[in-house]
Structure 1
């Protein structure tokens, strides 16, 4: 199989520290170029990371014939516009989550994908991590009986007004940053969509972003609840409860790269710890996307799935405003 040549559209911290190194180590990926709006910045980062070429504008990278696919780590409000520009330049796109800031954004990208024929995927790295594939398989095989409840928590503490997560005009806020993870993993493991959503959402009076939220997703036969917070002590967990047992996902979202992930399965056979071999979920994500593009096969996280997730996010926001159940 050939190699997919990547261009990195921006020098964001997540790209430099989390995504590019494992992407460079992936079997069918090569990082060919990186761009910044500042040529000196692009050159410095390229030299530091061993990237062959740098560009002093995003447009120049999209015009680079050596680039097959683009990874976009820009602020949330820029995701859709630059994804569209990349697709129209004939580049496949792996765009950092969220794919957009609302359902209309995701629908725009579906139309662009159909028009251009390129692959467009939201970079939801948890969806290709082996621990989540294992959780889905355990639930599907009946390891905990009939699933009836899901519970999740994801929080951190950031109050810096300059942090892009805290800038409302950049698409900041907790739901789009971390609340989307319990939603996508619940949908993925259960293999179905919620019928309605209820939510409580609190906004920071100075920053204007949603800083605390709790939601109840009404799936057929399953109640899924989660809480997220951007001004809480850091914590994360996901639990799946059935009539014959339950599963605890120890580190569900920021999976470590230096040690195995652990699942705790409790059922009639007792409590069993399942170790999932260590890996870098950003590298796995890039490799699986590359393999799909190179082989002309379905991508691991279809754009339709991202649209469905965004519909639930939008429903939670509406429910937080109205105080009523809202349908995705």
Structure 2
């Protein structure tokens, strides 16, 4: 198998701690190049990938003919620009979430993708995890009867004003950082889109949402979510049906927050728990991306899926402004 050769734009901490090691570990992938003007920032990457080529600019990496795909972990407001530049340079693109800041941003990205004939996708890793694939199978297969309500929560504490999550001009805020998970996970598992957002309470600090409480109406179920970057760590998604309840106790940061676990309760007496210790959804994401590039296998999270999550987020921001 000829490996897909990857380059990473920028020496972000998330790339160092999660995605670059995942690319290095993934079957059919090769972590080949890094773009950074800082030799000091490149050093820890070369500690596990000693043959890594280091380019001193993003443009130089995109001009490298020995790079097939790029991973983009740049600040949110730069995602659309560099996704399009990478596509125009003939590279496949995996870009951190949120890949865009508005629904309208997707027009140019999809056009660039189609013109280049390359794969471009948001790094929405949870859909690659067997926990969510199993949840989708159970909910859409009727294991809990007709779905009536979904409840989601994702919180952590970050009041560092130097962090981009707390900077409005860089596309920060809790919804864009972690609301994509509470929204996107529900859409993925149920296969449905929201009809309306009857309630959205947003708490802003310096132009950044630090807390959001959201209610949504889907075609056959109701939805509620709470997201905050000023509260103690918590994450959970519950799918409540007429005949059972499905709960994901570590849905978003498997092996970091806790172990990925799914619990199904039906008939008031039967409880089944499934666990996936040690499964790395970042590695699975890279392997699925490479397979799609190599043989055209359908990718679980195309731009069209990510656009649906962004549309929901736009609806929430609009409702919160009322």
Same fold (TM over 0.5): yes
Q: Which residue of 2 aligns with 1:126?
A: 126
Q: Deviations over 1:262-291 (max 9, x none)?
A: 111100151121123531111111110111
Distance in 2 (CA, whole Å) between partners of 1:178 and 1:260 is 19
Summarize the alignment of residues 9-158 of structure 1 with structure 2, pairs less than 5 Å apart: 9-36=9-36, 38-41=37-40, 43-50=42-49, 51-158=51-158
Contact 1:155–1:236 (CA under 8 A) maintained in structure 2: yes
Q: Deviations over 1:107-147 (max 9, x none)?
A: 22111112211110000011111100000111122111111
**What number of residue pairs does the alignment pair up?**
319
Answer with 207-216 or 39-48: which moved more.
39-48
Contact 1:39–1:55 (CA under 8 A) maintained in structure 2: no
Distance in 2 (CA, whole Å) between partners of 1:202 and 1:241 is 28
Distance in 1 (CA, whole Å) between partners of 2:259 and 2:296 is 32
Q: Which residue of 1 aligns with 2:204?
A: 203
Gaps of 5+ in 2: none
Q: Normalising by structure 2, report the TM-score.
A: 0.96
Contact 1:11–1:45 (CA under 8 A) maintained in structure 2: no
Q: Which residue of 2 aligns with 1:262?
A: 261
Answer with 39-48 or 132-141: which moved more.
39-48
Matched residue SS, 2:104 = helix
Q: Which residue of 2 aligns with 1:242?
A: 241
Q: Which residue of 2 aligns with 1:229?
A: 228
Answer with 41-50 or 130-139: which moved more.
41-50
Contact 1:126–1:253 (CA under 8 A) maintained in structure 2: yes
Matched residue SS, 2:93 = strand
Matched residue SS, 1:286 = helix
Give the C-alpha shift of residue 162 in structure 1: 0.2
Gaps of 5+ in 1: 323-328
Distance in 1 (CA, whole Å) between partners of 2:99 and 2:15 is 16
Change (3 A) 1:260 1:46: closer
Give the C-alpha shift of residue 300 in structure 1: 1.8
Change (3 A) 1:274 1:46: closer
Change (3 A) 1:245 1:280: same
Distance in 1 (CA, whole Å) between partners of 2:143 and 2:240 is 10
Contact 1:83–1:95 (CA under 8 A) maintained in structure 2: yes
Q: Deviations over 1:23-57 (max 9, x none)?
A: 21111111010111x14245424422315211110
Q: Deviations over 1:277-321 (max 9, x none)?
A: 531111111110111101123222111111111011000000000
Answer with 277-286 or 129-138: which moved more.
277-286
Q: Aligned-residue CA RMSD in angstroms?
A: 1.5
Q: Normalising by structure 1, report the TM-score.
A: 0.94
Work out whether 1:173 is the aligned partner of 2:173. Answer: yes
